[in-house]
Structure formats: C-alpha cells, structure tokens
Amino acid sequence: MATQIVMDRTGDTRHEFDVADSNAVALAEERFRQLTGKGFRAVALGRDGKPGNLINKFDPNVEQTLFIPQLQGG
C-alpha cells in the first residue's frame, strides 16, 4: 500500500492506494497531477526523518508522498 498525504486545515488527509490496482493507481496519478498543478510540491518522504526527495513525476512505488502547499513569505 502506498499513501498520499495532503496537508490541509484538518492536519492532513491521507489517501491510501494499492499499487497492484490499476484503477487506484490511475486515481492517485490524477490526484498527483491536480495537486502539483495547483502549486503543491510533492515530496517522497524518507524514513526516520531523513530528508527524502522532491518528486516532479508520479511514481506509484513511492511509499509515502507528502503534498506541501505553495510557500509564501511572511
């Protein structure tokens, strides 16, 4: 199972999908496309607090993808 975590006002929303299920993967890919299109940055989270990687292309094999909304200066 892979998880997409989207940061939002409720803390976060998690979408889990089975990488063997092509429909679920297509849905996850569509979500990835929509969110990154809105300006979210996708990060493949590392284990034990390691930095992970910034990803620009959907990869169903990434265990946990975190979507960070666009940044702004304060």
Partner 1 sequence: MEQVRGILRDLLRRALSEHARNVPALADITIEPAAGRLEPRLWVHFTNGYRAWAPVRAQDFYAFCERYLAWDLPSLRHALLQESHEIYARMCAEHWAELARVRERRGMAAALLDRFRRRADGRGRVFARRPSAELDPPPLGDAPPRRQETQRRLLEWWTQQRHEYARNAFYGQGLTAEVGSKRAQERGIQLLKEHLAPVQRQQYEKHGYFDVVGGKTGKRYRIRHGRQMNIEQLDRNGRRVCGWCFYPQGNLVAGDVMLAQKLAIELFEADALRIANRF
Binding site for partner 1 (CB under 8 A): 5, 7-12, 41, 43, 45-46, 48-54, 66, 68-74
Cβ-proximal residues to 40 (8 Å cutoff; 6+ apart), any chain = 6, 67, 68, 69, 70
> Between residues 20 and 74, which has the closer beta carbon with respect to partner 1?
74
> Between residues 37 and 49, which has the closer beta carbon with respect to partner 1?
49
Cβ-proximal residues to 62 (8 Å cutoff; 6+ apart), any chain = 2, 44, 55
Q: Is 4 helix (H, G, I), strand (E, B) or coil?
A: strand
CB of residue 47 vs partner 1: minimum separation in angstroms?
9
CB of residue 61 vs partner 1: minimum separation in angstroms?
19
